[in-house]
A and B are shown apart, each in its own frame.
Chain A
Amino acid sequence: MPETDNPAPGAGPAPHAGAGAEPEPRLVLEGAAKRFGAVHALDDGSITLYPGEAHALLGENGAGKSTLVKILGGVYLADEGTLTIDGREVLFGGPAEARDAGVSIIYQEPSLFPDLTVAENIFMSRQPLRGGRRIDRGAMNDETAAIFARLGVELDPRRPARGLSVADQQIVEIAKALSLGAGVLVMDEPTAALTSVEAARLFTVIRTLRSQGAAVLFISHRLEEVFANCQRVTVMRDGRFVRTALIGEVTVDDVIRSMVGRELSALFPKSPTEPGETVLEVESLTSRGVFNDVSFTVRAGEIVALAGLVGAGRTEVARAVFGVDRRTAGTVRIGGEELPNGDPIAAMAAGMALVPEDRRQQGLVMDLSIEQNVALASLARLRRGGLIRRSAESALAGDWTARLQVKYGRLRDAAATLSGGNQQKVVLGKWLARSPRLLIIDEPTRGIDVGTKAEVHRILDGLVAEGMAVLMISSELPEVLAMADRVIVLREGRVTAELGRDEADEDSVMYAATGQLSGAAA
């Protein structure tokens, strides 16, 4: 049974069970913990990788996967725990030491040097040399071309990385990892930005690497990929190791249950509402090269979700609707009134609010206090004689933090001192203080612990019940399915489906988002 306890945390059943002598694990991480101030990014990160296996690491956003990856990559030094590679305990003092120990990482966010050539990006600090320790550019370009040939892509090794599409950047990252010939290859959502053809080619390469004895740790939100290409799976939740199992011994439902920690239906409290008049009308919205001819409406008292894969253009649509980005064509109307192009102030005046996806950069000014952040969108109302009334500011912040049950030390503490969930509530409070008619919320629960997640959902539910219109963007399908009254699916910048609450399920949404039938559920 997959639910049985494992002998050692993170060890789990060996992938070669029954095939005679068990090989030595290539990498063992046990009980790794990492904290940033009050934030526990990881409490118990444990995983064991054997040579020749593709091992999936699964968990919701905020489960601690990326932190674990950064510990393996030597970016973070774990506060606790041990890391063993090929039987020797190691302590990475930096990314270079991890690389030298044979651990190669492809991070979620490509990190390239825009000014340097593709080949130089791949071989930085390891460029092939000729006489006099000089860089051998010819050899470098040839080797790069050879790796690209293996991957079946034709990118010019001599072109600069500036201007590469996200998919191509990801390909360069993959090529970089391959060029290292590492024994352990960690891929943090490498396929998020790839087309299915590119992803398929990547899996072919992974198979080759496995056959050569490499261990591959693979992180993905696409469960069908995991089930098709991996041998074992480790699940994490809330910064802790949950279980490791052989892929053949678990079902998609098992894995999801382990990831979320409870039954799906119990998760979200969205109650049925009766939609009122149309609040937001988006017509033929276009941003050249990003998204095309996007039309939809949101009514009072309903949650409309924008679904789709990463890179499908959901966030970009939201930004253009709010006016942070300019649109090339199309109209946006609030309550029948057309909004001027690229003018967030007009959008705010018309009753629009946007809780952006990147809390740290866009949602909050981390170094300002909690009360200053809550008041930031309402300063015009808090003014008397041109000056900010401090007492009114505190009162506003006190009111909203209480209503949203924000847990904080003092209102004058910096927003940075809060946990992710409480930060998200501060962002919400900032916008709700303006009593908007339409709330756009991009990834409402990204990087938030499960308890607060449910609270955020309850808050949204309450707002909609009071007649607010909500446009929600979420990469978490369960969240979309549980919360949304209607689902607009985007693929490569175009609307591919609009599904009612009854039509929307995992299959229909994934089909519209990818253009393929979901392998896992089929």
Chain B
Amino acid sequence: MTSDLATSAARVDEGGAGRPGRAGRAAAWRAALRWESGLVLLLVAVILFGAAESSTFLTGTTFFYLGTDIGYIAIMALPMTLIVMTGEIDLSVASMLGLSGAMVGFLWHHGWSIWPALIVALLVGAVGGALNGVLVAKAGLPSIAVTIGTLTLFRGMAEVLLGSLTVPAVGDPQFPGSLTQIGAVPVGGTQLSYSLLFFIVLAVVFGVVLHATPLGRSLHAIGLQPEAARFVGVRVNRIKIVLYIVSGVLCAFAGILLTLQNASVSYNAGNGLELTVVAIVLFGGVSIFGGRGTVPGVVLAVAIVGALQMALTQMNVDPNVQNIVTGVLLLLSVVVPNGGEIVRRARTRLRRRSAGG
């Protein structure tokens, strides 16, 4: 049987039926709705599960710590969503988070005051993002290779900046308490952590951009049919560069949040989180091939992953074992939507076999 094309080949499958859900945007939209309703159900299930297993699960404190644990990761997932929508990827996000934190720590250690240090860190994010964007869009290099390169490079620069130092080191002043309190105190009058608040605001902005503006429509078009996008005057390269810069800046911002939450920083902050971010985005229903996905889906994915982690932690499950859950969720997110396709192919094969025999 030679018609088994590998996944890589699935895009060029015969009859243009390659990508699952080729039947069209409307169908894809319905599928997305189904996917998101599925996520809502799953979220409810996770919350019920958490409440049943842990008496402290449904408390404000839990919600606050959920926010500090997942907020900075979730912020990185937003630009990642847009980048994956265009058919690219950014694996350097967690390293940029680390580099930004290291930059703040380095400058602090050298006696800078906090605000200039934070601004420099954001600038570093912009420059790093621009580097990714130019290499991908202008030089035409594969984004997965480029961002594995910058993943190593940015983390390496963080190492160069801080070495084995944890800042504030002995002799350094502590970071200003007015800022580091975001790790311990919720937004006034609520149980909402600051990093979650930032995420929510940003998610609204990203949702509006992706789903209601010409730019968002262009992002869909770039991911689905880059040639067609170019033919209606979409500046594909420029948009990609801007997305990578936005990604760099927001990851730097996430790095700042993490640094302040922890009130300290070392070079390896957030090591390995890039794959978690990718996993959340894909679990949220964004297609790795680009062109499909919604911000609400990603927000739900963030909520599920965050709540589940919280529940498992309260049940004293080893964080490493929690990996299984992340992995299984990710598996589900690709296998379930492909289910229909698999059945369809099996049926074709049966038909051929019976026709042949």
Contacts and interface: CB of A to CB of B under 8 A. Distances in A.
A387 B23 CA distance: 27
Tell me what chain A mostly uses at the interface: helix, strand, loop, or mixed. mixed
A410 interface: yes
Residue among A376, A377, A410, A415 with most chain B CB within 10 A: A376
B171 interface: no
Contacts of B217: 372, 376, 379, 388
A366 interface: yes
Nearest to A364: B228
Interface string B197-222: 00000000000100011100100110
B291 A367 contact: yes
A139 interface: no
Contacts of A345: 233, 235
Contacts of A369: 24-26
Interface residues of A, number: 46
A310 to B, nearest CB: 19
A518 to B, nearest CB: 34
A362 B212 contact: no
Given A367-B25, A387-B212, A376 B232 contact: yes
A386 interface: yes
Interface stretch (B14-22, B116-124, B183-191): B14-22
Interface stretch (A90-98, A184-192, A238-246, A468-476): A90-98
B225 interface: yes
Interface in A366-409: 366-369, 372, 376-377, 379-380, 383, 386-388
Contact of B24 (A77, A324, A356, A367): A367
B25 A324 contact: no
Contacts of A296: none
B: contact size bracket: 35 or more
Interface in A308-358: 324, 344-345, 347-348, 354, 356, 358
B230 interface: yes
A344 B23 contact: no
A324 B230 contact: yes
B224 interface: yes
B225 A365 contact: yes
B134 interface: no
A368 B23 contact: no
A416 B24 contact: yes
Contacts of A363: 228, 231
B229 interface: yes
B59 interface: no
B10 to A, nearest CB: 15
B16 A360 contact: yes
A169 B80 CA distance: 40
A408 B228 CA distance: 21
Contacts of A383: 213-214
B319 interface: no
7 contacts: A37-B23, A76-B14, A344-B231, A356-B231, A367-B224, A368-B224, A387-B208
Interface of A: 36-37, 75-77, 91, 93-97, 324, 344-345, 347-348, 354, 356, 358, 360-369, 372, 376-377, 379-380, 383, 386-388, 410, 412-417, 430
